[in-house]
Amino acid sequence: MSAEIAIGAATGTGERPLRRALRSGRVVVGGSILLVLLFCAIAAPLIAPYDPNEQDLLNALKGPFWSDNAEPGFWLGTDNLGRDTLSRLIYGTRVALFVAVCASVGTMLVGTTLALLAGYFGGVIDWLISRAVDLWMSFPPVVLSLILIVGFGVGIGNVILAIVLVDWTRFCRVVRSEVLVIRRQNYVDAARLSGFSHLRTMVREVLPAAAPLIITLMSLEMGIAVIVEAILSFVGMSVEASIPAWGVMIADARNYMYQSAWGLILPILAIVTTVLAFNLLGDGLRRTFDARLQQH
Amino acid sequence: MSGEILSIILRRIAVAIPLMLLVSVLVFIVLRLIPADPVAMSMPPNATNEDIEALRREMGLHLPIMHQYGIWLGHILEGDLGRSIAFGQPVSKLIGESLPATIELAAFGALFATAIGLPGGILLFRLRGRPSEQAVDVGSTLMMSIPEFLWALFLILVFGVALNLLPFAGRLPPDMTIPRLTGFLLLDCLLTGNLTAFLEAIRHMLLPALALALGTVPLIMRLLRSSLLDVIGEDYVTMARLRGVPERRVINRHALRNALLPTLSLMGVQFGFLFGGTLLVEVIYSYPGLGNLMVEAVRNTDLPIIQGAALIFALAVLTINLAVDVVYIVVNPKLRRAR
């Protein structure tokens, strides 16, 4: 019976956190930036003025429209091969957001599953999973993702896989301690007593209680994934050369920063804005959910 | 009492050893996935089949994989990390030459991070409840969104290119050389009595170390603030206030001492990450350290260097964590009495 009450309570408050989240300035600002970026990613072929790989060598290294050496038609200037910076930035959102979404869902699935198993069952399972986390954490994330990419080879799928294999520990550690707390709640015992299987208890009782934390972590993880992808494409270990990515733009522009600093600044701003949006969203959500916890 | 501390420390080391072994297994297995053939890469194009077979046997590639791992590990324990495919030199020599530079950089980065982060955390705490808190809060979220490799580029643009104040390539001006004594450049400058070179080396290190630090500073700031918030409600703080101790002194003498402990323990984890952050910062500043060596090796698929560098990075993180644990145990009176 307690289980039904718990489920009822969970669904009953299901809408209110969302509305409260929308009252948080952080969530609104972060979410709005992300909606704009999402639009850029989806509508890239429609809104980008040029093909991102189209070269115009006569108009190489032009500045943005407010600078002295601007060239009409190239709003944010061009790179060393005369490719349009604005178009490359717009197309770059595709790689960034695709990696962010896929990698965060992947890390969430792997990390949360292991955290649930470790926190719920405890004992040997917990010990094994916790030691695996320790092992992973002894590698600097950048070093581990680099050797994984060396092992798997480049390509966007392998980048996502590498991020998942590096970052599941982030979820696992945090969610595990949350599950340890939830596990001791009366309604979880009640669910077991009323004949729920372990699996059903975990999925129906424990998981919903950890959901706010998981959503927050996912938002932060998306920001991290954007950074890792940028790092890997910066060192030339991410996507194929024909796909425009912000990290590649930075690597290209770095060699010409004396001629055109904006070529370097703009992709940096794109990355920072995206990561900031994810962090604001995550931060805002965390505060919203915390407030709910305090109320009860 | 010191015997008890020693036994705790020894226990931590005992945990670190199997962890390090597992790290080596992980490195070995992941890099075995590489489609590239190490034999083909280290042979001239006109090599005969017999030559190739001979080298395969010499490298032990005909043996089962666990056996290969055993041989590899045995060599490592003897300090033999193999021979670089691209440079033809022993990996241990290459790493030995670049590691001191990375240690110096990471140490300066950690120093800067502490020097900026701790006062920043106290500032954040002092601003609690004021209108400016929101602004500083958003500011720290913004800072958290900038990873060290973007700081590195940004600092180059501002202080290197635009203001032309500080150098951002290498460790010394091209026309300056220092005889290699210890491998630690700053130390070597002092040992040879070359103060000009010492100051130049510091100047070259300011931007990369600052870039490393700025990635860590907002975390330290937030951590210290929340630790301070935790202890500020404690009875002894209230008592100090009731005794009429000025607020500044309450924070510095009473609250800070206890709030520093959790901050210290998490700073250890952060310094582990900071060490990993040297990788890209070194690439960006053409800084001749372990990270630069490793990224170069990744581009050349130079397997022995990648393996060796990855192991050293992991070893460094474990050592840093261990060192912080030890400091934590030594300075934490609760732990001292408990065990």
pLDDT value at residue B333: 66
Which of B41, B278, B313 should be substituted to probe chain A, the one whose Cβ sees the most A Cβ atoms within 10 Å? B313
Q: Which pLDDT tens digit goes with each residue over B241-290? A: 888 888 888 887 778 888 888 788 778 778 888 888 899 999 999 999 99
Q: Into which CATH architecture does domain A3-10+24-294 fall?
A: Orthogonal Bundle (1.10)
Query: Chains A and B: how many Cβ contacts under 8 Å?
Result: 120
For the cut 70, the answer to whether the pLDDT of residue A22 exceeds it is yes
**Interface contact flag, B313 A139, Cβ < 8 Å:** yes
Confidence of residue A292 (pLDDT cuts 50, 70, 90): very low
Mean pLDDT, consecutive 10-residue stretches, chain B (339 aa), reads 74 83 85 67 71 75 80 86 85 92 93 92 85 81 87 92 88 84 86 88 93 90 86 82 83 81 80 88 92 90 88 88 80 59
A-chain CB neighbours of B299 within 8 Å are 235-236
pLDDT value at residue B154: 92
For the cut 90, the answer to whether the pLDDT of residue A95 exceeds it is yes
Token pair in block for residue A223: 């920001």
Q: Which pLDDT tens digit goes with each residue over A119-141? A: 999 889 999 998 888 888 888 88
Question: For the residues A49-57, what does the mean pLDDT come to?
Answer: 89
Which residue from B314, B277, B329, B270 is spatially nearest to B19, judged by alpha carbons? Answer: B314
For the cut 90, the answer to whether the pLDDT of residue A275 exceeds it is yes
Three-state DSSP class for residue A286: helix
Token pair in block for residue B179: 């005889």
H or E segment at A81? none
B-chain CB neighbours of A150 within 8 Å are 30-31, 34, 298, 301, 306
Residues 6+ apart with CB under 8 A from B246: none
Token pair in block for residue A226: 């954007």
What is the nearest CA distance from A44 to chain B, expressed in angstroms? 25
pLDDT value at residue B151: 93
Comparing A9 with B37, the larger pLDDT belongs to B37
H or E segment at A85? helix A85-121
For chain A, give every domain's residue range: 3-10+24-294
Do the Cβ atoms of A20 and A288 come closer than 8 Å? yes
User: Could you give the residue ranges of the DSSP H alpha helices within A138-242?
Assistant: 141-152, 156-183, 186-193, 198-200, 207-234
B-chain CB neighbours of A235 within 8 Å are 280, 283, 295, 298-299
Q: Using alpha carbons only, what angle is made at residue B48 by residues B46 and B49, rounded to the nearest 5 degrees?
A: 140
Cα(B313)–Cα(B237) distance, rounded to whole angstroms? 42
Which residue from B316, B314, B115, B315 is spatially nearest to B212, judged by alpha carbons? Answer: B115
How many CB atoms lie under 10 A from the CB of residue A77?
23
Token pair in block for residue B8: 């705790």
**Interface contact flag, A146 B298, Cβ < 8 Å:** yes
**Interface contact flag, A138 B314, Cβ < 8 Å:** yes
CA atoms within 13 A on the CB side of A200: 11
pTM of the model: 0.86
A-chain CB neighbours of B31 within 8 Å are 147, 150-151
Confidence of residue A19 (pLDDT cuts 50, 70, 90): confident
Residues 6+ apart with CB under 8 A from B308: B81, B82, B91, B92, B94, B95
Instruction: Tell me the three-class secondary structure of chain B, residue by residue.
Output: CHHHHHHHHHHHHHHHHHHHHHHHHHHHHHHHCCCCCHHHHCCCCCCCHHHHHHHHHHHCCCCCHHHHHHHHHHHHHCCCCCECCCCCCEHHHHHHHHHHHHHHHHHHHHHHHHHHHHHHHHHHHHCCCCHHHHHHHHHHHHHHCCCHHHHHHHHHHHHHHHCCCCCCCCCCCCCCCCCCCCCCHHHHHHHCCCHHHHHHHHHHHHHHHHHHHHHHHHHHHHHHHHHHHHHHCCHHHHHHHHCCCCHHHHHHHHHHHHHHHHHHHHHHHHHHHHHHHHHHHHHHCCCCCHHHHHHHHHHHCCHHHHHHHHHHHHHHHHHHHHHHHHHHHHHCHHHHHHC
Helix, strand, coil shares of chain A, percent, nearest 5, are 75, 0, 25
Q: What is the mean pLDDT of chain A?
A: 86
When CB atoms are compared, the residue of A140, A223, A271 closest to B276 is A140
What is the nearest CA distance from A38 to chain B, expressed in angstroms? 19
Classify the complex by whether its ipTM is higher than 0.85, answering yes or no: no
How many CB atoms lie under 10 A from the CB of residue B192?
13
**Interface contact flag, A235 B298, Cβ < 8 Å:** yes
Question: For the residues A264-268, what does the mean pLDDT come to?
Answer: 93
B-chain CB neighbours of A143 within 8 Å are 276, 279, 294, 309-310, 313-314
Which of B138, B153, B292, B307 should be substituted to probe chain A, the one whose Cβ sees the most A Cβ atoms within 10 Å? B153
